Amino acid sequence: MRTHWCGELRPAHAGQRVALCGWVHRRRDLGGLVFLDLRDREGVVQVVCTPQHPAHATAQQVRPEYVVRVQGQVVLRPAHTVNPKIPTGEVEVRAETLEVLNPSRTPPFEVADDAEVDETVRLRYRYLDLRRERMQRNLRLRHRLAKATRDFLDREGFWEVETPHLIRATPEGARDFLVPSRLHPGKFYVLPQSPQLLKQILMVAGVERYFQLARCFRDEDLRADRQPEFTQIDVEMSFVDRDDVLGLVERLVQHLMREALGVEVPAPFPRLSYREALLRYGTDKPDLRYGLAIEDVTELAKAAELRLFREAEAVRCLRVPEGAATPRRELEHLVAVAVEAGAPGLLHLALQPDGPKGPLARHLTDGLLDAVCSATGAGRGDLLVFVAGAGDVASAALGKVRQHVAGRLGMVRDGTFAYAWVLDFPLLEWAPEEGRYVAVHHPFTAPVDEDEEHLESDPLRVRAKAYDLVLNGVEVAGGSIRIHRRDLQERVFRLLGIGPEQAQERFGFLLEAFQYGAPPHGGIAFGFDRLVMVLAGEDTIRDVIAFPKTASAVDLMMGAPSEVDEAQLREVHIAVRKPAVP
Ligand code: ASP
């Protein structure tokens, strides 16, 4: 039906007769002339309808979002009517015929990027929302990244293997979605939280290099920017150590950045230990687009007159470059940010030209002040802010202050991409509400070799062979080298309070497989939606998913979840227990 895309026409097409199809974006009726902006996936072009041609009469009747087909000639626009804002702005199409292929009801909102539309309305009419240029750009970027992923991994010898959606429970620690079995009354399938166990079994099966753009399902409580179903680039490899996986991922990321964005990112990516990330940035997902690292001045502070400093478990400090003149209101705001993040307070010291100012000024001797300045690299004109208290709390609070300050100082520039590895996570953490250790990553993650001997004696000091990839402060991938020996797996299960029967009942098939020659293996999974989100410059993953659910897990367009009729319930042997009305 068409010879060209609307968005592809350029001066080189002048003189050509073309057929275009698309949606009426805007219409301007000047009486004698009717201008239509015609839009398709590739862009918008101006169509002119003059009274000489039958297109004119039809043009007077069309409305926004009508679907039309235009035939006519591409001409150069007169110089004074060139529109430099759109790529087709130097040309227009003189319409000869204009056919309405389908009219449209008046849309509930204008299909335009700058239209302010409530998200519930956008999700309710997602097909209109997706017509917007920005959303089409996001879908295209997502496609390009998926394609580049497949191309790259194929070249590296990976096979894409599909794993089933109807399975037994997997171990990612969220709640499972259940699917009742019709053929087996009272039994249920579980939707995979990830293909974790199956990809490990593929390694036992000799696949060696596996990947999958895999859908994962986690029935989690409402949390900002989570989706009950999401996509991973899931990867597993045999006969590798940690650095092999990191190297592969760095090459994959470089390829994706080049193919999809034309951006070169240097590798290897910076590596931080988990402890270092918490200490220096107050988070295990540090945004390294800017510096502003937190300094530990606990030892120095022991010489302070201020008791609060002398006796604190930790004193941490952040230097705000050129911040000495920060107005009082902003200083109060920094305190609020720190307190909100759990700090008991925040003290500042402004290194003004005529000497230090602020509540701390009179508590620091000159010698101490010099020592703090040299530890933090601070000089005249800077501001120092301090939090005293428990170490992790102090750093976490300064981490929030750090983000706030970076935003305010314009240090976070769009279009910059800072990747970093966070390594050496602890294997276990104590879950007080459950009264047991839980795996920080998942129960199949291997401990660091030299820490293995402390598994029973000092479990919390055992580091894991786990790694997270962080991009601009967002965790975009995580993985680990796995346990491949049954005895070690059983020790870890024991620590996690998973007894032999329970291990057998939940993961028996994996433990059995491990007895038939499991190769050493490891892998990683990217949160694909989050990766696309950051690369697209969006703030929510909903904007890079065609049909997302709301934060309360509802599909507003289809109306899911919904009730089903009694007959369907009977077939799957389910009786619904209505929740008690509070
Ligand atoms: N299955 C893990 C996850 O979903 C990733 C991995 O360990 O490869 O987080």
Most distant CA pair in the chain, distance: 91
- Number of CB atoms found within 10 A of residue 1's CB: 8
Give the tokens for residue 345: 């307070």
* Partner residues linked to 74 by β-bridges: 93
- For ligand 1, the distance from its centroid to the CA atom of residue 524, given in whole angstroms, is 6
Q: Which helix (H) or strand (E) holds 46?
A: strand 43-49
Written as six digits, the tokens of 165 are 């959606």
CA-nearest residue for atom 7, ligand 1, is 479
> Does 194 sit in the ligand 1 pocket, CB within 6 Å?
yes
Q: DSSP letter string over 471-493?
A: ETTEEEEEEEEBP--HHHHHHHH
CA–CA distance from 174 to each of 126, 278, 507 (Å)? 28, 24, 16
Q: Tens digit of pLDDT for each residue in 190-215?
A: 999 999 999 999 999 999 999 999 99
Residues of the chain with pLDDT > 70: what percent? 99
Q: What is the mean pLDDT of residues 164-168?
A: 95
**pLDDT at residue number 304:** 83
What are the helix (H) ranges across 51-132? 55-59, 119-124, 126-129
pLDDT surpassing 90 at residue 359: no
Q: Which residue has the higher pLDDT, 166 or 551?
A: 166
Q: Is the CB of 480 under 6 A from ligand 1?
A: yes
Q: Which helix (H) or strand (E) holds 228?
A: none
pLDDT reading at 224 higher than 80: no
> Between residues 488 and 306, which one has the greater pLDDT?
488
Task: Name the pairing type of β-strands 43-49 and 91-102.
Answer: parallel
Torsion of CA 244, 249, 252, 258, to 10 degrees: -120
For residues 425-430, give the mean pLDDT. 96
Statement: residue 535 has pLDDT above 80: yes
| Averaged pLDDT for residues 35-51 | 97
Which residues touch 52 (CB under 8 Å, ≥6 apart)?
Answer: none
What is the Cα–Cα distance from 534 to 516, expressed in whole angstroms?
42
Q: Which of 250-259, 277-286, 495-504 has the lowest mean pLDDT?
A: 495-504
- DSSP labels for 338-393? HHHTT-S--EEEEEETTEEESTTGGGS-HHHHHHHHHHHT--TT-EEEEEEESHHH
Q: How far apart are CA 177 and CA 192, in angstroms?
A: 8
Q: How confident is the model at residue 154 (pLDDT cuts 50, 70, 90)?
A: very high
| Range from 23-32, 142-151, 201-210, 218-227 carrying the lowest mean pLDDT | 218-227
> Is the per-residue pLDDT at 315 higher than 80?
yes
Going from the Cα of 504 to the center of ligand 1, the distance in angstroms, rounded, reads 21
pLDDT band at 84 (very low <50, low <70, confident <90, very high): very high
Task: Give me the mean pLDDT over the 83-93 stretch.
Answer: 97
Phi, psi of 189, deg, nearest 5? -90, 160
pLDDT at 268: 97
| 3-state secondary structure (DSSP) of residue 45 | strand
- CA nearest ligand 1 atom 8, residue: 524
What is the mean pLDDT of the segment spanning 85-107?
A: 97
pLDDT at 66 over 90: yes
CB of 445 closer than 6 A to ligand 1?
A: no
The ligand 1 atom at the shortest distance from the C-alpha of residue 170 is: 1
> What does the pLDDT look like over 447-487, one tens digit per residue?
999 999 999 999 999 999 999 999 999 999 999 999 998 88
Between CA 505 and CA 56 the distance in angstroms is 73
Question: What are the chain's domains?
Answer: 6-102 (2.40.50.140), 134-266+527-567 (3.30.930.10), 290-408 (3.30.1360.30), 419-519 (3.30.930.10)
**Residue 171 pLDDT > 80:** no
Q: How far apart are CA 489 and CA 446, in angstroms?
A: 8
- The residue count for the chain: 582
CB-ligand 1 contact for 200 (6 Å cutoff): no
Please give the radius of gyration of the chain, using alpha carbons only, rounded to the nearest integer. Answer: 30
Using DSSP, state whether 100 is helix, strand or coil: strand
Q: Which pLDDT score, from 0 to 100, does residue 478 have?
A: 98
- CA–CA gap between residue 537 and residue 474 (Å, rounded): 12
> What pLDDT is stored for residue 163 in this prediction?
98
Q: Which tokens is 372 given?
A: 């703090």
231 lines ligand 1 (CB under 6 A): no
The one-letter amino acid code at 130 reads: L
Q: For the chain, give the percent of residues with pLDDT over 90.
A: 85
pLDDT of 582 higher than 70: no
The pLDDT confidence band at residue 310, using thresholds 50, 70 and 90, is confident
CA of 441 to the centre of ligand 1 (A): 8
Mean pLDDT of 346-371: 88
Q: Tell me which H or E stretch contains 256.
A: helix 242-256
- Cα separation, 361 vs 143, in Å, equals 56
- Taking the centre of ligand 1 as the mean of its atom positions, its distance from the CA of residue 295, in whole angstroms, is 32
Is 299 in contact with 309 (CB distance < 8 Å)?
A: no
B/e letters for 252-286, b = 16+ CB within 10 Å, e = fewer, are bbbbbbebbbeeebeeebeebbbeebbbbbbbbbb
Comparing 8-12, 16-20, 98-102, 500-504, which segment has the lowest mean pLDDT? 500-504
Tell me: pLDDT of 114 over 90: no
Report the C-alpha gap between 88 and 180 in whole angstroms. 54
When pLDDT is averaged across residues 319-341 and rounded to a whole number, the result is 94
Cα–Cα distance for residue pair 526/234, rounded to 1 Å = 6
Residue-level pLDDT at 12: 98
- Spacing, Cα 239 to ligand 1 middle (Å): 18
pLDDT for the residue numbered 506: 86
The pick from 167, 226, 227, 232 for probing ligand 1's pocket by mutation, whose C-beta has the most ligand atoms within 8 angstroms, reads 232
